[in-house]
Structures are given as structure tokens and as C-alpha cells.
Amino acid sequence: MRSPLGMACAILLTIFILTGVFAPLLAPYDPLQLNLDDRLQAPAIHHWFGTDELGRDILSRCIFGARISLSVAMSVVILSLFLGLLIGSLAGFYGGWLDTVLNVYLINAFMAIPGILLAIAFVAFSGPGFRNLVAALSLTMWTGFARLVRAQVAAAAQMEYVEAARALGASDLRIIVRHILPNVLQPVLVQAALALATAVLAEATLSFLGLGTPPPAPSWGNMLNDARSHLFDSPHMVIFPALSVMICVVAFNFLGDILRDTADPRRKVRRSLPVEA
């Protein structure tokens, strides 16, 4: 609330989310409707963002693209967060050989493979589609959450309130769920905001390569893929979906940075200290 930039990013992201939710009500045209008589029209009063090579309204496709791209991004982050919380909590709480297996071998093995190559290989093997795309991107993103959760849980497990709960006879599951996780969620949620930006960009990348949601679904990456052959004669086909991706990714990144600054007490102390002349 104190940061104008944070409020602006929150408003932008709210607009994107509401646009995706109410896409059928907001889109002026059917995003799949063909009209070859109006193909490759420049932005005008009837088509604010112009039309593509099949005469489809680009504004309507951008609106529905928000629904697909944000649905994929949020699904990826939720699934990655669940896996990261599960594996990171087990590794950080129990330590020992379990930590060695999960952290040293499993997490490092996934982190050693470039994420985009792993996602491309998974989608190429299993086929394009919403579920396969979410699964592929989740395989590349859960490791960051797991590493963060492991470090936070390992530190929290040594605190006095955990020892008190254990002395009162609380089970390990209750200690993790009721006492540790609520105290380590703040940095995890900051990481989730930054991960949403990565997921939006990764979805657009895979869709641009033809490995995302199959056409004619109007995702932003598919729209950029369709516009490659008209980059110079109809640049509006590239400009508007590219701007949608850029604004959404930048807003998530700025929001994540602001949340991180707000959650870090050391930054608050620095800001409150008087500046010496």
C-alpha cells in the first residue's frame, strides 16, 4: 500500500486476471471466428488491435490469451509449490540420509538439466496440451521452491517453539503443518510471485515453439508463432501479444521484488536509519 509501483503492478495483474476470467464478456468478437475478407487489417475502430492472417480479431485473441497463459502459469506455480513444500519440508525437518537423497541427489539432478530443455523434451515425448504443458513446466520449477523450503524448515526446526511442541507430544506432521510451515511461508510466497513471471514467459516460449496449447487456442505464444511470417508487413500481429507478455512478466517481477523488500526486516532497518551527510 505504501509503494506506488507495487500498487500499479497489483492493479495491472488484477486487470489481467479479471480479463481472463470474464473473457467471453469482454471480447468483442469470437477469437476463433474466421473472416478472410478482413485479413491483416491494421488497428482501426472496428478492430482495435487489427486482425491476423485469417481475419481473427487480435484484441479478442489477446483477451482469451490471458485466460490460457495465466491459467497455465498459476497451475504450474501451485503444483511446483506443492512439490517444493513436500520435498523441502521432509529434507529440512528430518535431515540425515533423507536430506542427502532428496537434496543432494534428487534436487541437484533436476537442477543440472537446463529447465527449458527438460520441458521441451517432456512435451515432445508426451505431446502438446494444457496438462502436459503444466506438468513439463512444473518439473523445471519445483526445485527452486524445494531448496528454499528446505533451508527455511531446517532453520525453523531448531527453534524453541518446535522443541516445546515436541515436548508436549505433538507428532511430526502436526509440528510441520501447524508450527513450522506458517512461519516460513512468507519468503515462499515471494518466490511464488517471481515464479509466476517465469511461468508466463516459459509458457509463451513453448507455445511459440509449437509445444504449448495446440492451435487454434489463442495463447500469447501461439499468436507470436502465427505472426512470424508477417513481422514486417503486419507488425501489429507481433506487437500486441508481445506487449501482453512483457507487461504481465514485468508486473509479476516488480511485485515479487516489492514483496521481498517488504518482507526483509534488514531492508526496513536500512530505510529507517538516518542518512549521514
pLDDT, one tens digit per residue, over 46-93 is 888 888 888 888 888 899 888 888 888 899 999 999 999 999 888 888
- Predicted confidence (pLDDT) at residue 190 exceeds the cutoff of 90: no
Residues with Cβ within 8 Å of 264's Cβ and at least 6 positions away in sequence, in order, are none
Q: What is the mean pLDDT of residues 104-132?
A: 84
pTM: 0.84
The mean pLDDT of the chain is 83
Q: 234 is written with which cell numbers? A: 503486419
Range among 68-82, 111-125, 220-234, 245-259 rated most confident? 68-82
Q: 127 is written with which cell numbers? A: 505431446
Residue 274 or 237, more confident: 237
What angle do helix axes 236-263 and 58-94 make, rounded to 10 degrees?
Answer: 30
